[in-house]
Amino acid sequence: MQEQFKVQNVKCGGCAKTIQDGLGGLPGVEGVEVEVDSGTVTVSGNTLERAALAAKLAELGYPEA
């Protein structure tokens, strides 16, 4: 299963690392890929809750665009 988000404020590799670390600890998350140029975050896992992922992204400073 995958969930994809278009987010704001992704400007560098440090932003990508923050997102990967922040989402990586959530239940069900197995992988997080961040495309800095497009601001796209792709999360993979078995039991993903889109609302929880979006809330965590916003909490980290990367709300959906």
Q: What CATH number corresponds to the domain at position 17? A: 3.30.70.100
Task: Give the pLDDT score at 4.
Answer: 97
Task: Give the pLDDT score at 47.
Answer: 87
Query: Does residue 8 sit within a domain?
Result: yes
The mean per-residue pLDDT over the stretch 52-63 comes to: 97
Query: Does residue 53 sit within a domain?
Result: yes
The percent helix, strand, coil of the chain (3-state, each to 5) is 35, 30, 35
The mean per-residue pLDDT over the stretch 6-20 comes to: 97
Query: Does residue 6 sit within a domain?
Result: yes
Query: Does residue 65 sit within a domain?
Result: no
23 vs 31: CA distance, rounded Å: 9
Q: How many CB atoms lie within 10 A of CB 50?
A: 11
Structural domain range at position 14: 2-60
41 vs 11: CA distance, rounded Å: 13
10, 34 in Cβ contact below 8 A?
A: yes
Domain count, the chain: 1
pLDDT in tens, 14-55: 999 999 999 999 999 999 999 999 999 999 998 899 999 999
Q: Is the pLDDT of residue 6 over 90?
A: yes
